[in-house]
Amino acid sequence: MPYPETGFTNRPFTVGLCTACDSELTDSSVRELRSVVRGCPHGVLIVTQCQLGQLTCATGVSEGGVMMMLQPCTVDRVPVASVVWVGPLRTRADVDAACTWVAAGSWDRQNLPLGLRADQTLTRSSNQN
């Protein structure tokens, strides 16, 4: 997996990984993100169930995928910025892009591939309701 040339970020964060829509990538996504978080001295990984609910979730019941949330925080786990939603992760390339983005530590959603900018994905799925 490619990581930033500078290595892993020292910025504190919590990553939540939703595994409710079990897909072929669920196990490898957890494994790869765990590897990234372990490389970051102030990173925490939480594996969770759906935080959005069936009507809102961007993965779609038929398509599946893994949703990720990143919360920048202090070393004491106090949030310092809004949660950034990432996903759905549906391919190996998606998982690699998400891992590289987390490891880099800048966490600007503009640095994500368009298909992983969940704020736009969630907007599209809500328009279909």
pLDDT tens column, 21-64: 766 778 888 999 999 999 999 999 999 887 766 655 655 555 67
Task: Give a yes or no: residue 107 inside a domain.
Answer: yes
Task: Give a yes or no: residue 1 inside a domain.
Answer: no
Pairing mode, strands 13-18 and 66-72: antiparallel
Task: Give a yes or no: residue 73 inside a domain.
Answer: yes
pLDDT of residue 65: 82
Range of the domain at 41: 13-127
Task: Give a yes or no: residue 23 inside a domain.
Answer: yes
Task: Give a yes or no: residue 7 inside a domain.
Answer: no
Q: Cα angle vertex 106, ends 68, 79, to 5°?
A: 65
Tell me how many domains the chain contains: 1
Terminal Cα-to-Cα distance of the chain (whole angstroms): 37
Task: Give a yes or no: residue 8 inside a domain.
Answer: no
Task: Give a yes or no: residue 4 inside a domain.
Answer: no
Band (pLDDT 50/70/90 cuts) for residue 1 is very low
Band (pLDDT 50/70/90 cuts) for residue 119 is confident
Q: Which of 31, 119, 25 is nearest to 70 (CA)?
A: 119
User: What whole-number distance in Å separates Cα of residue 83 and Cα of residue 13?
Assistant: 10
Task: Give a yes or no: residue 2 inside a domain.
Answer: no
